[in-house]
């Protein structure tokens, strides 16, 4: 069913109805290093800023569960988008989490969960379902005009989930999952036999998406959902919609030129634990290592980009969110169960993690981003 569009007044009411935030421990005043969404220990959902030590620098309520968070380059805005098929999108202050703008979504669209800014920070792109037309779009919003909606770009596929901007040339990369849903049917998948996932690219300043990667027919049930880029390398994290007994690759690495993808494998025992499902993907700062969160398997996995070699895994109950960390092999990860943040170092010699518990948080959500 379509969610009602929460008005600003409803949001304020939702905030007021939440357990008093003043009851939380005093928050550190430091600028957040990481922004993410979460379910709070005190109840309700929030956007959360964390400092480099994993302490909460802000905790601001959301009317419902959030999903993608994305910082505005060169600015101090962070956009946060509702979990699919939700209809709220906010822009908050990176320092405090205070709401600065609310995205006014057309009735014939709902969000698919993620957003990306243009390189100059002027435009925000949100993945959306044009459900009455059975197609996916990127909604385009002008940050310099109070986030007015200024257009749409066809996503060149059904079910665009994540959109990410490539740091080098500013192109946008869209993972089209290929799965048709309709708000009337919630998340029930309506077209698995005919699904066609695609990875598409919008050139810098471009007004249309072109398909860069379409998997071979025998892999057409690998739904491409998340994407990360490092210079000319692109990683795609996938979810398999075929029989549970199949062992399939879940992460593909390709280039911005759209070369033949390298499919990354897991050791068999982890492949079976994975339930054929990845939830997030990121590169380390050097681009030499790619990592993915596998919440159904309860672990994160890391591979060498150069040769596709599996480097190791980190056990993490319900862990999904992964982002670029500090230093070679560095990643930041979080867990759904237990509300922990992990600092990972993944190198050819092995994978290490150091965990910090965040008291205010009951469960970290699927994604986190380094605040700019």
Partner 1 sequence: MRVLAVLFAAVCLMSSTGARADVSAVLVEDLVDGNVIPAYRAFESKTAALSQAVDAACAQDALATETVKAVFAEAWIAWAGARHVVKGPVTYFDRQFRIEFWPDGRNRIERALNDLRVAGGEPEIAAAVVGVQGFPALERLIYEGEGANDCFIARPIAANLHGMAAEILIEWTEGDSPFRKALVSPGGGAGVYFSYSESLTALMTGAVASLEGILRLRLKRPLGEESGIVRPERAEAWRSGLSMDLIRADLATVADFYHGGAEEGEAPRGLDAALRDSGETDLADLMTKAFRVTRDTADKIDRPLREAVVDPALRPVLEELVTQVSALKALIIQKVGPALGIAGGFNALDGD
Q: Are 245 and 236 in contact, with CB atoms under 8 Å apart?
A: no
* 39: contact with partner 1 by CB under 8 A: yes
Rounded Cα distance, 323 and 358, in Å = 17
Q: CB-based burial of residue 45 (10 Å sphere; 0-12 exposed, 13-18 middle, 19+ buried)?
A: buried
Shortest distance (Å) from residue 131 CB to partner 1: 10
| Binding flag, residue 182, partner 1 (CB under 8 A) | yes
Question: Residue count at the site for partner 1 (CB under 8 A)?
Answer: 42
CB of 266 to partner 1, least distance (A): 14
What is the SS3 assignment for 102?
Answer: strand
Using CB under 8 A as the binding rule, whether residue 282 contacts partner 1 is answered as: no
> How many CA atoms lie less than 13 Å away from 141 in the CB half-sphere?
24
Site string for partner 1, 288-307 (x = CB under 8 A): -----x-xx-x---------
Q: Rule CB under 8 A: is residue 366 a binding residue for partner 1?
A: yes
Q: Does 41 bind partner 1 (CB under 8 A)?
A: no
> With binding defined as CB under 8 A, does residue 113 bind partner 1?
yes
Characterize 81-90 residue by residue with b for buried, 16 or more Cβ atoms within 10 angstroms of its Cβ, and e for exposed. Answer: bbbbbbbbbb
211 contributes a contact to partner 1 by CB under 8 A: no
**Binding of partner 1 at residue 365 (CB under 8 A)?**
yes
The DSSP secondary structure of 189-248, one letter per residue, reads -S-GGG---EEEEE-TT-SSEEEEEE--GGGTTEEEEEEEEETTEEEEEEEE-S-TT---
Distance CA 45, CA 158 (A): 29
Burial class from Cβ neighbours inside 10 Å (0-12, 13-18, 19+) for residue 359 reads exposed
Q: Which residue, 201 or 226, is less far from partner 1 as judged by CB?
A: 226
Judged by CB under 8 A, does residue 79 bind partner 1? Answer: no
**Pick from 221, 238, 233: nearest CA to 258:** 233
In the set 256, 337, 356, 372, which binds partner 1 (CB under 8 A)?
337
Told to check if 196 binds partner 1 by CB under 8 A, we report no
Asked if residue 243 binds partner 1 (CB under 8 A), the reply is: yes
**Dihedral sign (CA 320, 173, 101, 133):** negative
256 binds partner 1 (CB under 8 A): no
Is 318 near partner 1 (CB under 8 A)? yes
Token output for 254: 């390709």
Q: Which of 24, 27, 42, 192 binds partner 1 (CB under 8 A)?
A: 192
Residue 10 lies near partner 1 (rule: CB under 8 A): no
Of 123 and 180, nearer to partner 1 (C-beta) is 180
Residue 262 lies near partner 1 (rule: CB under 8 A): no
Distance CA 317, CA 198 (A): 30
What is the nearest approach in angstroms of partner 1 to the Cβ of residue 300?
12
68 vs 287, which CB is nearer to partner 1? 68
Report the nearest approach of partner 1 to the CB of residue 363 (Å).
4
Site residues (CB under 8 A) for partner 1?
1-2, 39, 67, 83-84, 113, 134, 161, 182, 184-188, 190, 192-194, 225, 242-245, 272-273, 279, 293, 295-296, 298, 317-321, 336-337, 363-366
């Amino acid at each position: 069913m379509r969610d009602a569009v929460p008005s600003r007044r409803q949001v304020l009411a939702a905030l007021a109805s939440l357990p008093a935030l003043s009851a939380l421990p005093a928050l550190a005043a430091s600028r957040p290093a990481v922004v993410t969404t979460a379910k709070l220990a005190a109840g309700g959902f929030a956007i959360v800023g964390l400092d480099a030590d994993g302490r909460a620098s802000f905790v601001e309520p959301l009317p419902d569960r959030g999903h993608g968070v994305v910082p505005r380059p060169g600015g101090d805005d962070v956009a946060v988008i509702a979990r699919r098929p939700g209809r709220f999108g906010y822009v908050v202050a990176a320092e405090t989490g205070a709401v600065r703008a609310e995205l006014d979504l057309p009735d014939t669209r709902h969000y698919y969960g993620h957003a990306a800014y243009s390189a100059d920070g002027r435009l925000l792109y949100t993945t959306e379902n044009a459900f009455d037309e059975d197609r996916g779009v990127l909604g385009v919003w002008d940050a310099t005009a109070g986030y007015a909606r200024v257009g749409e770009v066809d996503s060149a596929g059904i079910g665009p989930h994540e959109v990410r901007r490539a740091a080098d040339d500013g192109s946008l990369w869209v993972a089209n999952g290929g799965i048709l849903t309709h708000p009337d049917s919630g998340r029930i998948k309506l077209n698995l036999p005919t699904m066609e996932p695609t990875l598409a690219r919008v050139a810098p300043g471009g007004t249309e998406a072109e398909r860069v990667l379409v998997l071979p027919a025998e892999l057409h049930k690998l739904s491409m959902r998340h994407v990360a880029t490092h210079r000319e390398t692109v990683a795609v994290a996938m979810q398999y919609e075929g029989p549970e007994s199949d062992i399939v690759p879940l992460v593909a690495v390709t280039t911005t030129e759209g070369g033949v993808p390298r499919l990354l494998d897991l050791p068999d025992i982890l492949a079976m634990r994975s339930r054929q499902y990845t939830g997030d993907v990121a590169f380390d700062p050097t681009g030499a290592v790619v990592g993915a969160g596998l919440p159904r398997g309860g672990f994160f996995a890391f591979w060498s980009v150069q040769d596709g070699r599996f480097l190791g895994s980190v056990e993490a109950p319900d862990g999904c969110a992964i982002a670029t960390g500090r230093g070679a092999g560095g990643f930041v990860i979080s867990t759904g169960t237990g509300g922990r943040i992990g600092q990972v170092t993944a190198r050819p010699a092995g994978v290490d993690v150091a965990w910090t518990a965040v008291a205010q948080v009951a469960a970290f959500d699927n994604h986190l981003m380094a605040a700019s």
